[in-house]
Structure 1
Amino acid sequence: MKLLLTSLNSRYTHQNLAIHYFYNILKEKYDVSLEEYTINDRIENIAYKIYRGGYDLVLFSIYIWNINMSLDLISYLKEISNVKIVAGGPEVSFDYEEIFKKSDIDFLIIGEGEEVIESLLDKIQSNSIINLHGVLYKKDGEVQGNSRYNIVQNTNNIPCIYLRKENINKNKYLYYEVSRGCPYNCKFCLSSTNKGVRVRDKDIVFKELKNILDSKVSIVKFVDRSFNFIPYHYDLIKFLIDNDNNITKFHLEIHPSLISDEFIGLFKKARSSQFQFEIGLQTTNLQTEKEINRVGSFDDIKEGVLKLKETGIHIHMDLIFGLPYETYEIFKKSFNDLYSLKIDKIQLGFLKLLKGSRLREDYKIYNYRFLQDPPYEVISNMWVSIDDVFKMKVIEDVVEKFYNEKNFEYTINQLEEFYNSPFDFFEDFASFWEDKYYLKNISKSGLYDAFLEFLIKKELDKRDVLDCLRIDYLRNNNRSQKSLISKYFNILEKNEVLKTVERNKELIEEFSGIDSKYILKYSQFEEIDGKIYMFIKGNFLILEKEEDNDK
């Protein structure tokens, strides 16, 4: 039996862990191939390539981002061949009756499939009766089999796919899991369906990670739901720091209530860009936290995050709009609470009622309306209206473009004194943005023009604010680009620039790492508020005009 393992990833740089595990389980026994495509590829092109492969069976790994395209591709394959189809993944592990009804799938694997896949293929090949936990199939128009959700209790049985360097693609994100499951039971999350955390042995993990580090992969993303719950996570961090290759960056999702002083202390010896953290705050409303089984008070979380910031590590934190008991006005407080931490990136997410989650099961209790197709995003509930949701969509766009990219950092900080709260500013800007620019393709320099237009319209074009906008523009753009802000430039004459460079030669070379005689090629000089600013590499150095006052 000739097999193909495949999945449609959301982008080329992503990989699907599940089919790589399956490949390592099956490769010694079966004629098996592995191919990964993306949701941007054309269905007919993928189908033709699979058809030309002459496969007897194709296994699809199906997720929220690829289910519709996967089902269309499966239908296409069934039209042009007699290939059998096996499917697994979160999107087919629930509502299996509906999946069978609207698809041409032959077999479904419910839950984690590593311990059942080989037995299933053996029975398909021998045309034997299938009676396996977590395997369903359709016979005579009826769904048959065992629907018990598969769980790999001993995660050491999961194949070690990164012990061989040929399995490591340096051009893609490398996904790695130390544990499965989550210690918490948040009602919006799929992890709440299965209690408990299963952790792989430290020796196995360290061997794989050493091989990954030796391969000098750019980014490793741990897929563990709460990395800092892993019993040996201290030893794991120390191992990564001690074996640092000066290249690899590790992305960790950590639980905010588990940020301890000991955990923070680990990173004081780390390379500045070796780690980045993703932290799911979700809400700071106590009633909401209780309703969704969320753990941890904001006061404790705030203390931990502020200490974590001192390490200089990139921090990305999430909020979810549409949770129970959180109105638009209450969400403002959650936003302002998070904003007060001044972390690197704020992600405004919108609640999705995922298959298998508790909130989806109880959606009628909260009067949820949500999209029936992926991504199952909430449209409204008892506390927020459709208008609230769409208003927040625009605010999310503004936060992403103007806060998260850090291209307007100084200007936004300067504007805080004109608004009662950070959310009020983003809400005000979003109202302007929706009228003129929302959903339009705006260039990077065009964002500065839009921001300047907003300042003028709101009569916020004060000198200090405009100075900050000039600083933000010049540290991120070349002055030669056409921009409305160019009329506020105060360009220095070349002779004055040369004198400034000569006076501050040592300071400039120490700051830039460039020989001062080449500095004009890589930098821009501007006079702002009586001082000379040198802009280079997204940063700037302030120089006094008079030699005696240089700093």
Structure 2
Amino acid sequence: MNTVLASLNAKYIHTNLAIRYLKAAAAEYQIELAEYTINDPILNITGDLYAKKPDVIGFSCYIWNIEETIQVAKMLKKILPEIKIIFGGPEVTYDVPYWLKRLEHDADYIVVGEGEASFKELLDYLSGKINYDQVRGVASLIDGRMHLTPQPQKTDLKTLPSPFRFAEDQADLRKRITYVETSRGCPFQCQFCLSSIEVGVRYFEREAVKEDIRYLMKHGARIIKFVDRTFNISRSYAMEMFEFLIDEHLPGTVFQFEITGDIMRPEVIQYLNDHAPEGLFRFEIGVQSTNDHTNELVKRKQNFEKLKRTVTMVKDGGKIDQHLDLIAGLPEENYQSFKQTFNDVYELGPEELQLGFLKMLRGTGLRINAADHQYVYMDHAPYEILSNNQLTFDDILRIKHVEDVLEKYWNDHRLDDTIHYLTTEVFETPFDFFQDFGTYWDQKGWSRIGHQLEDLFKRLYQFIEESKHETLPYTTYLMKKDYLQKHKFKPRKPWWDKEDINFSNLYDLLLSNPEIAGEHFASLNLKQKELHKHTVLVEGLKSIEGKPVQVYLLAYYDPKTGSPSLFEFTKEQTATSTTF
């Protein structure tokens, strides 16, 4: 019996942990793993699976791949009518009658919930070893009626074999994200999240997890992401794992965790600040909303002051990048309330701020009680909301404008100094900047076309020129500074129009009096050829002690490392040495 376990991942760099657990649990069978992306042509995926001549195919189903997976299954059933197709995963675990009806001609079985035992038993049945009524946790249509066998008891995670020891995975470990789980379940009851449905938290065997991580690092894994819903729910467990990873990590490895910010103990953060190498850890913290009433409605317990303490301590430590999440569209959070949420979280200065929109996931309390808040949402995955009793569709679109430019201008960190200035000194609040610019961006049609790096600068310049013209001189100077310091090589053609300025005299002055640009620049001891070949010189206007001052910015790109060094000096400093 030729069996294939397949998944359509969101991106190539992702891997699917579920199908690896299933293969490990059914090790007595010959099972091939097949991974694609949702952007691959459906015909190409189907053709590749067809070439494997499978008798059985199992698909791992999530909100991001269910529609594409169904298309593949439909096509396979047409060209291989005898094939047995199994769907499993969180997307098809809930509303099983709906899925059985919709997939009547496309899938033969649905594995409901945790799949290791059920999938193995289903293969036992298909290979003739057991009767169908001995298969637990599987749904199917028999004579047009739903047949769902009782689910097995929750798996003792300590008994599961490792999903990481397949030789065929080794070649790609360095190039892709490796997902690891050390626990299943979540202690919280957030009504928008599937994790709220399972009661309690179960843990894998600690030493086995450590051995898996050692194996993964030894064979090249560089990005290891823990998928535990709340990695730090047990302080002692989290500390043990942090200590292990600090002591045994290999250079270049990065570990990512989903952290609940308001329960993180200060002494744990202090330990990480004192002992963790910079860049080893990355935290993802779901804030979602700072509106207390909204959090109460979705049964989300959150102490924002303690969360702020955690984020601030981590940021001050300078060792760990933080990714903070927001959700627009939660109950009773209107446009103004969400604006406050955004500003509250943006003020914390996370390295990345993810703005997402509520998805009404099957099985969640929020979807079951959607009428309470007049939710209107997409019929098909990802079930994103279109409106509710607090947000109109116009409001949703406006917030999407914010999301678009937030991703390009903050999360990509192309213009950090510029954006900081605009969000703190020019616009009333950070949200106002991103909203005004995002709406302008959409009105210009830029959201429908591609862009190069230089385009990001030119478009921001155009927006500021039209909306905040009085700030343009200093904004332009900061944009030039951001542009020059983010490059790893001397830019060939900067984004700004060529300045009609002859810097020859100033270059001569820098050669004869390099101290004008500071001791560090003087210590470089640059010759004339090096100065002209490896530097960029621009002028600008900035405010010093409340007065506008003309300044020069010199960017030197080290030909050995490519790293830029920036030197700033005023026109007055040059005047003390020459009549330049």
- Does TM, scored on the shorter chain, surpass 0.5? yes
Distance 1:369 1:151 in 2: 36
The residue number in structure 2 matching 1:46 is 45
Q: Check conservation: 1:237, 1:266, Cα contact below 8 A.
A: no
Q: Does 1:507 align with 2:520?
A: yes
Show CA shifts across 1:168-223 (max 9, x none). 42221111111111111100001011111111121111111122222342211111
**Structure 1 residues 347 and 503: alpha-carbon distance in aligned structure 2, compared to 1, 3 A threshold:** same
The residue number in structure 2 matching 1:429 is 437
1:454 to 456, 463, 472: 463
The residue number in structure 2 matching 1:417 is 425
Deviation at 1:346, TM superposition (A): 1.0
The residue number in structure 2 matching 1:186 is 190
Q: Which amino acid aligns with 1:192?
A: S
**Structure 1 residues 515 and 279: alpha-carbon distance in aligned structure 2, compared to 1, 3 A threshold:** farther
Q: Does 1:324 align with 2:331?
A: yes
Q: Does 1:392 align with 2:399?
A: yes
**Structure 1 residues 108 and 490: alpha-carbon distance in aligned structure 2, compared to 1, 3 A threshold:** farther
Q: Which amino acid aligns with 1:464?
A: Y
Q: Does 1:333 align with 2:340?
A: yes
The residue number in structure 2 matching 1:145 is 148
**Structure 1 residues 80 and 297: alpha-carbon distance in aligned structure 2, compared to 1, 3 A threshold:** same
Distance 2:533 2:284 in 1: 38
Q: Check conservation: 2:291, 2:333, Cα contact below 8 A.
A: yes
**Structure 1 residues 500 and 10: alpha-carbon distance in aligned structure 2, compared to 1, 3 A threshold:** farther
Deviation at 1:283, TM superposition (A): 0.4
**Structure 1 residues 273 and 377: alpha-carbon distance in aligned structure 2, compared to 1, 3 A threshold:** same
What are the equivalent positions in structure 2 for 1:70-89 lying under 5 Å apart? 70-81=69-80, 82-89=82-89
Q: Does 1:276 align with 2:318?
A: no
SS of residue in 2 equivalent to 1:364: helix
SS of residue in 2 equivalent to 1:116: helix
What are the equivalent positions in structure 2 for 1:86-101 lying under 5 Å apart? 86-101=86-101
Deviation at 1:419, TM superposition (A): 2.4
Distance 1:98 1:510 in 2: 72
The residue number in structure 1 matching 2:240 is 235
Q: Which amino acid aligns with 1:247?
A: G
Deviation at 1:396, TM superposition (A): 0.8
Q: Check conservation: 2:517, 2:567, Cα contact below 8 A.
A: no
Higher deviation after alignment, 439-448 or 382-391: 439-448
Distance 2:530 2:168 in 1: 43
Q: Check conservation: 2:510, 2:516, Cα contact below 8 A.
A: no
**Structure 1 residues 21 and 522: alpha-carbon distance in aligned structure 2, compared to 1, 3 A threshold:** farther
SS of residue in 1 equivalent to 2:133: coil
Q: Percent identity?
A: 33
Distance 1:270 1:517 in 2: 43
Higher deviation after alignment, 112-121 or 386-395: 112-121
1:286 to 284, 288, 292: 292
**Structure 1 residues 497 and 73: alpha-carbon distance in aligned structure 2, compared to 1, 3 A threshold:** farther
Distance 1:342 1:411 in 2: 14
Deviation at 1:318, TM superposition (A): 0.8
Distance 1:500 1:135 in 2: 80
Q: Check conservation: 1:161, 1:167, Cα contact below 8 A.
A: no
The residue number in structure 1 matching 2:384 is 377
The residue number in structure 2 matching 1:220 is 224
Distance 1:521 1:47 in 2: 54
Distance 1:357 1:26 in 2: 30
Q: Check conservation: 1:316, 1:346, Cα contact below 8 A.
A: yes
Deviation at 1:166, TM superposition (A): 5.4
The residue number in structure 2 matching 1:65 is 64
Aligned-residue RMSD, C-alpha: 2.9
Q: Which amino acid aligns with 2:441?
A: W
Distance 2:451 2:153 in 1: 47
Distance 1:410 1:123 in 2: 63
Q: Does 1:533 align with 2:549?
A: no
Distance 1:355 1:471 in 2: 48
Distance 1:182 1:384 in 2: 29
SS of residue in 1 equivalent to 2:286: strand
**Structure 1 residues 335 and 83: alpha-carbon distance in aligned structure 2, compared to 1, 3 A threshold:** same
- Structure 1: segments with no counterpart, 5+ residues: none
The residue number in structure 1 matching 2:158 is 156
Deviation at 1:534, TM superposition (A): 2.5
Distance 1:23 1:549 in 2: 75
Q: Does 1:136 align with 2:146?
A: no
Distance 1:488 1:311 in 2: 44
Deviation at 1:439, TM superposition (A): 2.6
Q: Does 1:261 align with 2:266?
A: yes
**Structure 1 residues 248 and 510: alpha-carbon distance in aligned structure 2, compared to 1, 3 A threshold:** farther
Deviation at 1:488, TM superposition (A): 8.6
Distance 1:444 1:401 in 2: 10
What are the equivalent positions in structure 2 for 1:307-322 lying under 5 Å apart? 307-312=313-318, 313-322=320-329
**Structure 1 residues 440 and 510: alpha-carbon distance in aligned structure 2, compared to 1, 3 A threshold:** farther
**Structure 1 residues 105 and 165: alpha-carbon distance in aligned structure 2, compared to 1, 3 A threshold:** closer
The residue number in structure 2 matching 1:124 is 126
Q: Check conservation: 1:282, 1:320, Cα contact below 8 A.
A: yes
Q: Which amino acid aligns with 1:228?
A: N
The residue number in structure 2 matching 1:26 is 26
Deviation at 1:500, TM superposition (A): 6.5
Deviation at 1:517, TM superposition (A): 8.9
Higher deviation after alignment, 89-98 or 318-327: 89-98
SS of residue in 2 equivalent to 1:130: helix
Q: Normalising by the residue count of structure 1, what TM-score does the alignment of the two structures yield?
A: 0.92
- Count of residues paired in the alignment: 547
Distance 1:391 1:18 in 2: 37
Distance 1:84 1:491 in 2: 74
